Amino acid sequence: MSDVKIVRLTNGDQMVCQLSDHDDSSVLITMGFHVQNDKQTQRIVYMPFAPWSTATGEIVLKKDSISFISEPASFLIDQYQDLIDGKLTPATPVE
């Protein structure tokens, strides 16, 4: 799955997602998951990106909201694929 990227936003949020161009000023994020390190368990936690929105797996993000884009480590790609395939369950956001 070579189109999987890590996207760091200007607000500090980091997500793993599939990324493609949308237009000159924005990109299309597909199946985005917020990624963070749980300091108590020393594990990576995945949460759906924009879980309270009406987005159905795709969001359009302005390019000027992005700090950087990088290639994820291979283990992250494997875990991301497991999320997409339903083999892992993302964390539930607190309401």
Higher pLDDT, 45 or 10: 10
Which CATH number, 2.20.25.190, 2.30.30.100, 2.60.40.10, 3.20.20.70, labels domain 4-85?
Answer: 2.30.30.100
Distance of CA 8 to the CA centre of its chain: 9
Per-residue pLDDT tens over the stretch 49-93: 777 777 667 889 999 999 999 999 988 888 888 888 887 776 655
- Band (pLDDT 50/70/90 cuts) for residue 1 is very low
Q: Cβ(3)–Cβ(17) under 8 Å? A: no
